[in-house]
Amino acid sequence: MAMQSPSQQTLNTYGNGKAKESRLWLRLVDVNDDKSVDCGRQQLIQESTELMNIFGAILRNGKD
């Protein structure tokens, strides 16, 4: 696999950080025991985790 340019690596690192930050804030949100809001929040937490996994894989594979 081809190495990433420094700018690509920077963008992937930035994206990974933003996904991580979003997940943190979503976990801190108080949903006042509203099941529908909590369900949506859990889905967004899952999506941010998946994005972190994707960015992490890109960063790992780009260092080869």
CA distances from 8 to 1, 23, 38, 42, 61 (A): 14, 23, 35, 30, 12
Is 30 inside any structural domain? Answer: yes
pTM above 0.75, yes or no: yes
Backbone angles phi, psi at 13, to 5 degrees: -65, -45
pLDDT category at 3 given cuts 50, 70, 90 is confident
DSSP the chain: -PPPPHHHHHHHHHHHHHHHHHHHHHHH---TT-HHHHHHHHHHHHHHHHHHHHHHHHHHHHT-
| pLDDT tens column, 34-51 | 999 999 999 999 999 999
Asked if residue 1 belongs to a domain, the reply is no
Please report, rounded to a whole number, the percentage of residues in the chain having pLDDT higher than 90.
73
- Asked if the structure places residue 49 within a domain, the reply is yes
Residue 58 maps to a domain: yes
- The boundaries of the domain holding residue 25 are 6-62
When pLDDT is cut at 50, 70 and 90, the band that residue 20 belongs to is: very high
Q: What is the mean pLDDT of residues 4-29?
A: 93
The domain tally of the chain equals: 1
